[in-house]
Amino acid sequence: MNLYCCQFDISWEAKQANFEKVRKLLECKLPVPGSLLVLPEMAFTGFSMNVALVTQDAPGSIEFFLADLAKRFGIYLVAGLATQAPNGRGENKAVFVMSDGHIEGTYQKVHLFSPGGENLYFQPGDTISKFYWQGGCVVPLICYDLRFPELFRSALPLGAELYVIIANWPGPREDHWVTLLRARAIENQAFVAGVNRCGRDPQYEYSGRSLIIGPDGRILAEAGRSEEIVWADIDWDVVRKYRTQFPVLADRHTCHLQRIGN
């Protein structure tokens, strides 16, 4: 099965322009039917804190675009978007769409990026989500979540075999992005796909470097710093055999904290 990472320079708060950009990228590199295509965090607006603006749209237009894209190419999709909660705060989400256009579910970002003020405008989720693609278990996470390994560990009992991290990860911390993606793959013995944006917005510059990593930490595909789609073949037997042959996860133990001294 093919996994595609679509990395592009997100036009700031301009949904229609981003719809067109994604269409053109896919027309240049037609995905194989049945594949999984992943787009970045808040893929159609950029990492904007203007909740009212980025969530104001014709009802379901982003979902309609994704459903149409899935049906047109016969592919599965994970993409980032923003919605608005009844209390007016934003919800930074990953949506997963089946190849028939059906929206299977969403994941709401648990760890909000307080250095960028995200916690002031958005509200965190509190649930890990999963979906199945071609017989394997996929867990989507979002950007800053990458810095919290306990979230990835919490997904293992769900059967996680592929973690998909969609992001707007700034260029100055590019080394962190690459290192942490490889670490999450190695420690959980799982495939990891990190899909970042490139270009810049009014606040940050982004270096791209989208990656697909195998359960042993080996880089299977890597994007540069410009718009492109990279892909790798995903074989679930690779994860399952690796976990059996090198059963690190079976040796985990829970430790209890003990206070020493006064």
Give catalytic residues, as residue numbers: 41, 109, 143
User: What six digits make up the tokens of 108?
Assistant: 């709401």
H helices, E strands: number in the chain: 7, 14
User: What six digits make up the tokens of 48?
Assistant: 């904007």
User: What six digits make up the tokens of 188?
Assistant: 């959980």
Q: Are 39 and 77 in contact (CB under 8 A)?
A: yes
User: What six digits make up the tokens of 144?
Assistant: 């800053």
What's CA 230's distance to the chain center, in Å?
15
Q: Are strands 198-200 and 205-207 parallel, antiparallel or unpaired?
A: antiparallel
